[in-house]
Structures are given as C-alpha cells and as structure tokens.
C-alpha cells in the first residue's frame, strides 16, 4: 500500500494552498527524505530541470536550503538578486516571469510585497513558491511542523504559543497549526496583532480540525499550557526604521526564563536570525529545551518535499509501510556530531 499522492497546485504562496491532507503528505515526504527512505534521495528526479531563486531580501537559511535542496534532487539552481532582476522597476513583474518561464521549470521568490508573488504566479504556468513575503512564510511553517512532530509526536491537541510580533511567520503558523489540529496562540501587543483575514481563515480551519486559534495580549500568562514556545525578531527586514519605536512596546514580550517557568517542559523555537537579549534571552535560546537548529535544518527537507510535489509526475514516492508514527527525539541534539558539546 502506498501513501495517496496529494498534488499541490501550480503555486505555493500560502499555507492555505494546501488542504490538511496535503500538509500531512508533505510532512511525511519531508521525513522520508530526511531519513533516506525516499527513492528521490538517489534518483535525481529534477535532473535536467532548473529553478530560479529570486531574493529581494538577503537570506542565509532560505537561500542555502533551497539551493542545496534543488542540487540534491539533481536540478540546477539559478540564484538572482532583487537588484539583478529589478522586479517591477527595471521591467514589469509579468515580463520577468514570462521570460524566466522560457528558461526554468519553477520560480522561488523571497520578496517584500506579497503582491509580487501573486503577479509572478498569475503570469506563468510553471510552479511559483513563496520563500517569504510580507504576508506569509509558508515554507518556514512546514519546517516548524516537521520539527514539532519529531519532538512531540502527533500534533493534534498540542499547544503552540507564538510570542512577539503578529508578522508573516505568525500568520503562517496560525494557518498551519489550524490545519493539523494544533492549538495555536499568538501573544502580542494589541497594535501588532496578526492580519484579521488570516486569523479568520485560521479559525475557520480550526473549526473543522478541532484546533483552538487565539490571539492574546498578556505576556504574564502568555505561555501557560504550552508544549512549544516560538518567537521571532520584533522588527523584520524592511522595518529596521521602526526598531527603536518597537523596542519599548515589545520588551514585556521578551521570552525569558521567568516567562518559561509557566511552561518548564516546553520546547523553544525561533526561525532565526535571533537577537539575544531582545526578543529572547540567550539562556533560553541556547538552553536545553531549544530546538532552533533542528528547526533550521528542516527547512531543507520540507522545501525539497515541496519541490518534488510541484515538479514531479503524479505518483507516490513512499511506501506507507516505511512510515511509522513520528517518534519524539532527544531535545536539542539536531545535527550535532556525537561528543560535540552543546552551545550555551
């Protein structure tokens, strides 16, 4: 018996481009890739195919994980900076998209404005993948679900708490958590709450999966009952000019040992880069409950799964008999070599 193949649409711009079964399918495939159990590991399924990687924003994890992921699958990544491409400035987004479509088999773009992704996807028939926009960060959310499954097992009924700015990362987590039945709470200053449309969509999904989707504003009770606590920078790229304004507003929402005392067994996540001493204290980020580097690693596997599902023929890749229930792993070991001391 094989896992039913759940094809993705021709675009992956939002978590809601997938139904709950599609998310689980991707997570199972990402696990199989990570554990070497997928035929795609050795068969170079993207041989002869090219993927354009457009970066309007600088990147470490997104660029390296996508570039390495495409190469591991046998494809050719073509990396382009925003300045080189000039989306909407040097030439129209549509003209860029239609030109690239003649050369490459998929477009991955990390942009400031989500509307650019929509315009790219509307102009072409090849897959377009959101590698981050001001609205969502869906590939990050998939990696987050994968690492949480590894450490917690099934996610239905678990409690994830995101503390900080109700930004693109928080938005995708609300949608992803709702889709897998995971209770998800964003705790933030009232004026920095997640987009109302995103919250409404997540709550509607939660009604069907049993997930509680909440927004709260009290940092004192923020993490009570949490199985995992997640934070991100207070001022994202493009918001650097607001950093001084935001700092006093967000300072009560810093993730500290005092805050974590209300959930002493909770895992700690951060999508990185981190500002130790601002949104999270160093002794929490580098502490024994932190899984941030496991989380970062899973960007590679989750994105390889997305690439395969978007670019491969419709056929199953994994035998269900080889996919046991996710087993919780020891906390904070990640890819650390045996014998190497932990950070912190």
Mean pLDDT over 136-149 rounds to 98
Q: Supply the residues annotated as catalytic.
A: 110, 137, 140, 232, 271, 299
Mean pLDDT over 188-214 rounds to 98
Mean pLDDT over 209-218 rounds to 98
According to DSSP, residue 287 is labeled S
Mean pLDDT of the chain: 89
- Give the pLDDT confidence score for residue 8 in this predicted structure: 55
Mean pLDDT over 163-184 rounds to 98
Q: How many angstroms separate the CA atoms of 341 and 344, rounded?
A: 9
Q: In the block, which residue shows the tokens 């670019």?
A: 311
Residues 6 or more apart whose CB falls under 8 angstroms from that of 180 comprise 20, 23, 24, 145, 155, 156, 209, 211
- Give the pLDDT confidence score for residue 93 in this predicted structure: 95
Question: What is the rounded (10 degree) CA torsion for 93, 96, 102, 106?
Answer: -60
pTM of the model: 0.88
Mean pLDDT over 11-31 rounds to 96
Q: Poorest-confidence range of 5-14, 39-48, 118-127?
A: 5-14
Residues 6 or more apart whose CB falls under 8 angstroms from that of 196 comprise none
Taking CA atoms, 35 is separated from 21, 194, 244, 336, in Å, by 21, 35, 44, 16
State yes or no: pLDDT of 207 exceeds 50. yes
pLDDT tens by residue, 319-339: 545 555 655 555 544 444 444
CB 148 within 8 A of CB 177: no
Tokens of 18: 């997938």
Q: How many angstroms separate the CA atoms of 333 and 202, rounded?
A: 32
Q: How many angstroms separate the CA atoms of 303 and 50, rounded?
A: 15
CB 308 within 8 A of CB 47: no
State yes or no: pLDDT of 212 exceeds 60. yes
- Give the pLDDT confidence score for residue 87 in this predicted structure: 86
Q: How many angstroms separate the CA atoms of 87 and 120, rounded?
A: 10
State yes or no: pLDDT of 103 exceeds 70. yes
Mean pLDDT over 23-36 rounds to 95
State yes or no: pLDDT of 314 exceeds 80. no
Q: Poorest-confidence range of 21-25, 227-231, 335-339?
A: 335-339
CB 138 within 8 A of CB 15: yes
Cβ atoms within 10 A of the Cβ of 300, count?
21
State yes or no: pLDDT of 100 exceeds 80. yes
State yes or no: pLDDT of 204 exceeds 90. yes
- Give the pLDDT confidence score for residue 242 in this predicted structure: 84
In order of their start, the domains of the chain are: 11-136+298-313 (3.40.50.1370), 138-293 (3.40.50.1370)
> Residue 60 in 3-state DSSP?
coil
Q: How many angstroms separate the CA atoms of 46 and 50, rounded?
A: 8
């Amino acid at each position: 018996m094989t896992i039913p193949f759940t094809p993705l649409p021709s675009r992956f711009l939002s978590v809601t481009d997938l139904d709950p079964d599609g998310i689980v399918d991707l997570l199972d495939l990402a696990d199989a890739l990570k554990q070497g159990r997928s035929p795609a590991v050795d068969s170079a399924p993207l041989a002869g195919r090219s993927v354009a990687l457009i970066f309007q924003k600088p990147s470490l994890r997104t660029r390296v994980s996508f570039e390495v992921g495409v190469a591991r699958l046998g494809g050719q990544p073509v990396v382009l900076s925003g300045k080189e491409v000039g989306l909407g400035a040097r030439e129209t987004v549509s003209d860029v998209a239609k030109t690239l479509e003649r050369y490459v088999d998929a477009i991955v773009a990390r942009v400031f404005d989500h509307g650019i992704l929509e315009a790219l996807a509307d102009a072409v028939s090849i897959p377009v993948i959101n590698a981050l926009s001001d609205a969502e960060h869906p590939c990050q959310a998939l990696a987050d679900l994968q690492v949480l499954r590894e450490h917690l097992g099934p996610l239905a009924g678990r409690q994830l708490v995101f503390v900080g700015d109700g930004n693109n990362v928080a938005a995708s987590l609300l949608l992803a958590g709702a889709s897998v039945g995971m209770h998800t709470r964003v705790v933030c200053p009232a004026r920095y709450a997640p987009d109302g449309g995103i919250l409404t969509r997540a709550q509607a999904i939660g009604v069907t999966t049993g997930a509680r989707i909440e927004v709260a504003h009290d940092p004192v009770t923020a993490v009570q009952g949490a199985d995992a606590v997640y934070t991100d920078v207070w001022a994202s790229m493009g918001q650097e000019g607001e950093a001084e304004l935001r700092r006093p507003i967000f300072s009560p929402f810093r993730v500290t040992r005092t805050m974590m005392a209300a959930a002493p067994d909770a895992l700690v996540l951060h999508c990185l880069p981190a500002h130790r001493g601002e949104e999270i204290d160093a002794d929490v980020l580098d502490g024994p409950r932190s899984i941030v580097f496991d989380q970062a690693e899973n960007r590679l596997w989750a994105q390889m799964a997305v690439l395969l599902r978007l670019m491969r023929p419709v056929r199953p890749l994994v035998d269900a008999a080889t996919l046991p229930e996710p087993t919780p792993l020891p906390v904070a070991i990640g890819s650390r070599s045996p014998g190497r001391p932990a950070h912190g």
